[in-house]
Amino acid sequence: MDYLEAQVFEIKHWNITIVENSTCWSRVHAHCDGSRKICKWRRKNSYKSLFVLLHEIGHIETDVKGMKRCEQESEATRWAVERLRALGIPIKRKILNDYKDYTKRTYERGVRRGLKKKVKSGLYI
Ligand SMILES: [Zn+2]
d(CA 4, CA 53): 11
Q: Is the pLDDT of residue 25 over 80?
A: no
- Tell me the per-residue pLDDT of 32-85, one tens digit each, with 9 for 90 and over: 999 999 999 999 999 999 999 999 999 999 999 999 999 999 999 999 999 999
Q: Rounded to whole angstroms, how far apart are CA atoms 68 and 107? A: 9
**29 CA distance to ligand 1 centroid (A)?**
7
Residues 124, 55: Cα–Cα separation, whole Å: 13
Residue 5 belongs to what H/E stretch? Answer: helix 3-13
CA 55 – ligand 1 centroid, Å = 6
- Report the amino acid identity of residue 5: E
Q: Give me ligand 1 centre to Cα 59, in Å.
A: 7
Delineate the domains of the chain, giving CATH numbers in brackets.
Answer: 3-122 (3.30.2010)
DSSP state of 30: E
What confidence tens digit (pLDDT) does each residue in 78-114 have? 999 999 999 999 999 999 999 999 999 999 999 999 9
Task: Compute, in angstroms, the gap from residue 5 CA to the centroid of ligand 1.
Answer: 22
Ligand 1 centre from 114 Cα, in Å?
Answer: 21
Distances in Å between the Cα of 95 and the Cα atoms of 3, 61, 66, 100 are 15, 21, 27, 9
Residues 76 and 62: beta-carbon distance below 8 Å: yes
Task: Quote the ligand 1 centre to 73 CA distance (angstroms).
Answer: 5
